[in-house]
Amino acid sequence: MFGRVKPLDAILATAEKKSLHRSLGAFQLTMLGVGAVIGTGIFVLTAEAAQKAGPGMMISFIIAGFVCAVAALCYAEMASMVPVSGSAYTYSYAVMGELVAWMVGWALVLEYAIAAGAVSVGWSGYFTGMLGHLHDYADFLPNVVIPHALANGPTAGGIVNLPAMLIATATTALLVLGTTESATVNAVLVVIKITALTVFCLLALPVLNAKHFVPFMPTGFGGVSAAAASIFFAYVGFDAVSTAAEETVNPQRNMPIGLIGSLAICTLFYILVAAGVIGSVGAQPMLDALGHALPTGSTQLTDACGKINGQAVVCSKEALAWTLRQIGYAKIGNFVGLAAIMALPSVILMMIYGQTRIAFVMSRDGLLPAKLSNVHPKFKTPHVVTIATGIFVTVFAAFFPVGLLADVSNSGTLFAFAMVTIAVPVLRRTDPDRPRPFRTPAVNVVSAISLIGCVYLFFSLSFYTLLLFFSWAAFGLLIYFAYSRKHSHVGLGTEPGEEA
């Protein structure tokens, strides 16, 4: 099981020829993390978290942020040692062998591709909400209502989520053509996101009503755990900080500051936003006759929301914009929705890009068909794997609800993080003399806490989500033994020095 290890020296062969200038300090790393993390989850999943935990979702944000923090410290050590493409897949290949690496890479398909689908569905909710309030932007614009059947998947009582399909398809096309974000555009989007959330807090928190916080945990701590497992999605992206280890000045000092600092800022933002939603309009979940929360993304919840004309934050597909409209700031609510519409496509782009990078590396290692790593002769992009990923993302965006997609994505992410957490202390024993620009403090304690946290959140996901994950894993094992093991370059002894 742990055979076919790809030597670190082979993985680093090309990387050692490159010399990246160390210029990033603690502040730059912190801002990098804030920009990478804030976005998708807080705009999209606030209503989902409220339906699972009610006001207790504030604790859920803290739990998810803490698990991310300890996982990030482990991630940073591996990233500083192996600063090459491939992320957790590459780290696992170097430490625990090909089979584990394959399963991690297979799980990362869930992290990136299905997460892109989740963001597409989230974008669709804000987009359709904006179209329904166009007259509020300008008197000469008519409100446009997309038919329910064409703006929702089957579980929400619709047929197909057409806007989600369109944004996923458009983003895929951009990646095939080679369009990427510039640093300037990304910086502008970060400012837009943070400004929108700041304005929301400034307007919602002053009208906070303590009565809305009672009962605080209407679904018990189980609901808080389930919400934490879901909104773990809101923190995905922090690994962008750890992968910058090679360009960090004094990484042993600045890396933990950047990681913990960015996560602390994001967690504080998230708690304030959650408090603003709860305190201003209330966030009690919709319950069935037995007092259990109705499943998010279900037809039961859709029907219950229909009976009250959607007048609850848990029914909204654009929770922050809806909240501001309810408390008398309709125009500002519309602009918060517009900020989400502008910012979320960049997240979809980066997630599809991340997925194509993992699949591209696995293809070059022989674990996936070589055709997937073909590069377009004109656009110089891996067009085959990009188009395949885009089709996958589009299908899931069209037919599944955002909460389910986010949960399935989290299952893959948590599995990958758990493997990295295990790899760090293992490599400390098997290769203790290798240079480590960043060393995880109290590695045995931190890695143990990280592993426990990842396992805890993993098994807090719904039974349906876990069933999907293990079915996906079983399918992956079939592919590995039927194809990948026979074509692996490491197994065949070919191209041993190829960079991962």
φ, ψ for residue 108, nearest 5 deg: -65, -20
Q: Give pLDDT, residue 137.
A: 76
Domains of the chain and any CATH numbers: 25-488 (1.20.1740.10)
Q: Give pLDDT, residue 497.
A: 42
* Nearest Cα to Cα of residue 45 among 201, 217, 230, 210: 230
Q: Give pLDDT, residue 19.
A: 44
Task: List all residues 6 or more positions away from 454 whose beta carbon is below 8 Å from its beta carbon.
Answer: 67, 71, 414, 415, 417, 418, 421
Q: Give pLDDT, residue 445.
A: 96
Q: Give pLDDT, residue 109.
A: 79
The token pair at 121 is 């569905």
Distances (CA, A) of 418 to 29, 233, 387: 23, 15, 30
Alpha helix locations (H) across 82-161?
87-95, 98-109, 115-131, 134-137, 148-151
- 205-211 long-range CB contacts below 8 Å, 24 or more apart? 205/272, 205/275, 205/276, 205/279, 205/280, 207/279, 207/280, 207/327, 208/275, 208/276, 208/279, 208/280, 209/279, 209/280, 209/282, 210/279
CA 77 to chain centroid, in Å, comes to: 21
Q: Give pLDDT, residue 98.
A: 87
| 246, 83 Cβ separation under 8 angstroms | yes
Query: Which portions of the chain are predicted below pLDDT 50?
Result: 1, 14-15, 17-19, 181-182, 496-500
pTM: 0.84
Q: Give pLDDT, residue 437.
A: 80
